[in-house]
Amino acid sequence: MRKYINYLGAATLLALMSINFSSCDRDFEEYNQDPFAITNEDLERDFKLVGEPFINIIQNIYVHTPAWVTQLQQNLIGDVYSGYMMPPTPFAGNSNNMNYNLVDGWNTWAWNPAYQNVMAPGLDVITNAGDKFPEFVAWLKIAQVSAMHRVSDMFGPIIYTSFGQVGADGSIAYDCVEDAYNAFFIDLGDGIDELTNYVNANPGKQPFTNFDEVYGGDITKWIQYANSLRLRLAIRISKVDPARAKQEAEASINHPLGVMEANDGNFTVKNSIPHPMNTINNAWNDIRMGAPMESILVGYNDPRVDSYFRPSNIVPGEYKGIRIGIPIADKGDYVTFSGLQDLGDVQLMVCSEVYFLRAEGALRGWDMGGTAQELYEAGVRQSFEQHGLGGVDAYLADNSSTAIDYIDAFNNDNSINALSNVTIAWDNGADFETNLERIITQKWIAMFPDGQEAWSEYRRTSYPPLFPVVLNNSNGEIDTDEQIKRIKYPSSEYAQNPTGVQGAIDCLGGSDIGGVSLWWDID
């Protein structure tokens, strides 16, 4: 944690320098001021002092550049564990994350970006905002929850409420997952309330505009996104704390500005930086379609398959995915399987997901502003609309198509029968679990390519059923059938914050291994 402590130290030093400078003789200030310099008053006038950190913050919730950091932060964790993708590359002699030999040097990059580029710049925002710009602090809270819930969902306990606070022994305390989620809800609630008050008191004013690469300064859309994020986290804890989940979910829906309801509210980061997955897929040929995507999308005759993937070369004209955790001797064996279509803006939440969250809430008996069927079908419609596709009515009426068996076109030993027979069309006569699987399967399809969120929902629900690894190199730490539950803490944390890490391990029940379920992941 040394980097974070130093960052705080630098901010403190600058603050002290500012105090000393302000005590200098006033005449000296007046006669020695650079007439061309930009003063803090100038920066405050156009909000640069508090606003500019948000460009970096938003670009590092999901790292935009360099692509190799994205590969380690997201692609070789959530993207593969979700069933979305699988590399053809036998990294580290084909003993790596994909077959549960978790690579320590990789998980550092799932941990560091959120702290160095989201949490640390937030200290500047808080310091510079002071009491003058509470709307920027509210925005910061929403952005930080956006990043840190993803880190918690990978690792479990995290440093959140104690960030920047060093104990007498030099350690920084971790929050157990339950405590982190409680803090997320508090911060989202505070952020939503503050921004709502700001919008009501300042109609038409948009101080975020020059720094907002998501909504172009539209605070109303940030409030709707924050409510949607609160709904996502509420559903996440629905099995472990159903009363709190219902409370938070209904608060999101009943807020005067509500949640995302159309694709113009999708959380996509709009800038000139090419999507890093295009480099990983095209330039490096390091990622391909996952076998579950082939099984489900092809089985459903789902037109979104062409929006997500390219036909393979190994079986020309057909979509072929790679099963996770298989023997790969050479990259050439599987590189001819289906690659990804080029991606545009980085996507972290879409309105179709929000409709599926509401559908699940309605299935659980919560007030979600519609029936489970209405909201489920609205989610599918929004996903089709997002990708400019027709034929949604026929798709929603399909009560016979199911996932197909997976056939490995290179090595038939890796082939496996389909694991689900759930269909597309809503069935009011089906039991709770069948309709839940139906909702989660469609949400899983619609959230592509955000594998981190899809992996979290798979762990929570076990839907859609995903093919297990063929090779398990975890030395007994991860159950093949239960599949991976979390990522281990990087060795840098053990070296720099051993007391803090030990507290985190205690929260996990005593073991920092990939087979330990997180607080919200219960049967």
Are 68 and 311 in contact by the 8 Å Cβ rule? The answer is: no
Residue that the structure tokens 């939440």 belong to: 349
On whether residue 501 sits in a domain, the answer given is yes
Letter for the amino acid at 248? E
Beta strands in 245-296 (DSSP E): 267-269, 288-289
Judge contact between 420 and 437, C-beta under 8 A. yes
Per DSSP, 284 falls in state: S
pLDDT per residue of the chain (523 residues) written in tens, 0 to 9: 333 333 333 333 333 333 333 333 334 334 344 443 445 555 556 899 999 999 999 999 999 999 999 999 999 999 999 999 999 999 999 999 999 999 999 999 999 999 999 999 999 999 999 999 999 999 999 999 999 999 999 999 999 999 999 999 999 999 999 999 999 999 999 999 999 999 999 999 999 999 999 999 999 999 999 999 999 999 999 999 999 999 999 999 999 999 999 999 999 999 999 999 999 999 999 999 999 999 999 999 999 999 999 999 999 999 999 999 999 999 999 999 999 999 999 999 999 999 999 999 999 999 999 999 999 999 999 999 999 999 999 999 999 999 999 999 999 999 999 999 999 999 999 999 999 999 999 999 999 999 999 999 999 999 999 999 999 999 999 999 999 999 999 999 999 999 999 999 999 999 999 999 999 999 7
* Both structure tokens of 398: 């399909």
Q: For the chain, give the longest Cα–Cα distance.
A: 84
Q: Could you tell me the CATH number of the domain that includes residue 385?
A: 1.25.40.390
Contact 418, 403 (CB under 8 A): yes
**Is residue 36 domain-resident?**
yes
User: In this structure, what are the phi and psi dihedrals at residue 407, rounded to the nearest 5 degrees?
Assistant: -115, 115
Tally of CB atoms within 10 A around 261 = 16
* Residue at 286 is within a domain: no
- The model's pTM: 0.92
Residue that is written with structure tokens 């172009």 in the block = 216
Pairwise CA distance, residues 121 & 133, whole Å: 16
Residue 397 lies in a domain: yes
Q: How far is CA 221 from the centre of its chain?
A: 19
Distance CA 77, CA 458 (A): 13
| 481-512 per-position pLDDT tens digit | 999 999 999 999 999 999 999 999 999 999 99
Q: From the centroid of its chain, how far is CA 257? A: 23
CA–CA distance, 172 with 503 (Å, rounded to integer)? 10
Distance CA 463, CA 484 (A): 14
Taking only Cα atoms into account, the Rg of the chain, rounded to an integer number of angstroms, comes to: 24
Q: Which domain holds residue 486?
A: 2-278+341-507
Tell me which amino acid residue 522 is.
I
Nearest in space to 369 (alpha carbons), one of 357, 385, 383, 353: 357
**Omega within 30 of 0 (cis) for the link into 449:** yes
- Number of separate domains in the chain: 1
Best CA proximity match to 98, nearest among 81, 117, 74? 81
**What is the pLDDT at residue 14?**
30
Alpha-carbon distances, residue 83 vs 259, 464, 467, 483 (angstroms): 28, 9, 8, 12
**Of 514, 452, 486, nearest to 74 (Cα)?**
452
Which two three-digit tokens encode residue 342?
């080029």
β-bridge pairing 346-349 and 267-269:
antiparallel
Tell me if 331 is assigned to some domain.
no
